Every structure is written in structure tokens, then in C-alpha cells.
Amino acid sequence: MRRTSACRSEALRLSVLAVGRLKPGPEKSLAEDYLARAEGLGKKAGISRISVTEFSESQASSPASRMGEEAKLLASVIPPKSFAIVLDERGKAMESENFAGLLQRHLDGGTPDLSFIIGGPDGHAVSTRERAGLLMSFGPMTWPHRLVRVMLFEQLYRAVTIMVGHPYHRA
């Protein structure tokens, strides 16, 4: 079922802010494939762009220091009026249709930017989790950032297919 956005004044911009860089290999290829699909079909759904910004992991000596440095870096690049979705194992797990509904509600409500924040190996600082409009999880397990990126891009693609009535999602 195709959803329409009568309230929207402009398109939604998505940002993926990730600690850790994808190196050439199968995860990067798969992430790029799903990202390209999501970007292409996303325009039809009202998503004007999906940007990805990668940051090197902190080299501080303690986990708390690393998370703190990464939190400051991430906070400095979140667009000012962005709704921040922090990917964290303590977050809310969502069904794909509910995730598509979340994107559609933000699109219809005029949210200019949604930012998806992926932490480093130590996770997120408390300040990052507190800044979140939503803590979202891909389940209670801890996932490496390379796979989280692939899963996020696949779910973004799946969400836009749901939003425009494309047959990719068959649940």
C-alpha cells in the first residue's frame, strides 16, 4: 500500500554518522549496494538524500575516554534540527513495517533531518544515548559496526519499498 505525504513541506534528509570505517570487502560491497538502492527509491518516497559520514575510532586509553571523545565528535556533526536515532543494543527493536512508519511520520511531520548514529567498539557514551530521540536496536546482541551498517542500509531500503508499495517487502 502506497502512503502519501499531504503535510510535508520538503523532503527528508537522512544522515548516517558512524564510528569506524568500512574497508574494502564483502560488507562494504553489500552496504554500498543497499545504500544505492535506498537512495534511488528513497527519492520516490520523499527522501532527498542519504549521506554517510565515517569517523576513525578514538585512540584514547580507556573505554570511557574513547566513548567520550567519540560522543563529542558525533554531537558536533548532527544537523541542528535533526531527530537522532542512536543504534544501541539497549534500544527498541522494531519490525520493518514500524520502521517504515517511523520514517513516514517524520516525513509527514516535516522533520528536516533524521540522523542514525552508530557507535564504536565500546558503544555509546551516556550523553549520546540521552541525546537520542530514539534508541533503536537490531536485537540484544552486540553487532560489529560493519554489519550494523549493512543491516541499517537494508532496512532503509526495505522501509522505502514499503512506503512506495514496491514488492521487495513481502511479510
Provide the whole-model pTM: 0.91
Q: What is the strand order of the sheet 47-55 is part of? A: 47-55, 12-19, 113-118, 82-93, 134-137
Phi, psi of 123 (to 5 degrees): 95, -160
Enumerate the domain spans of the chain: 18-164
Report the distance separating Cα 160 and Cα 166, nearest Å.
8
- pLDDT tens for the chain, 171 residues: list them: 344 444 444 689 999 999 999 999 999 999 999 999 999 999 999 999 999 999 999 999 999 999 999 999 999 999 989 999 999 999 999 999 999 999 999 999 999 999 999 999 999 999 999 999 999 999 988 888 889 999 999 999 999 999 999 988 776
User: Does domain 18-164 match CATH 3.40.1280.10?
Assistant: yes
Instruction: Supply the pLDDT for residue 169.
Output: 79
The grid cell for 106 is 517524520
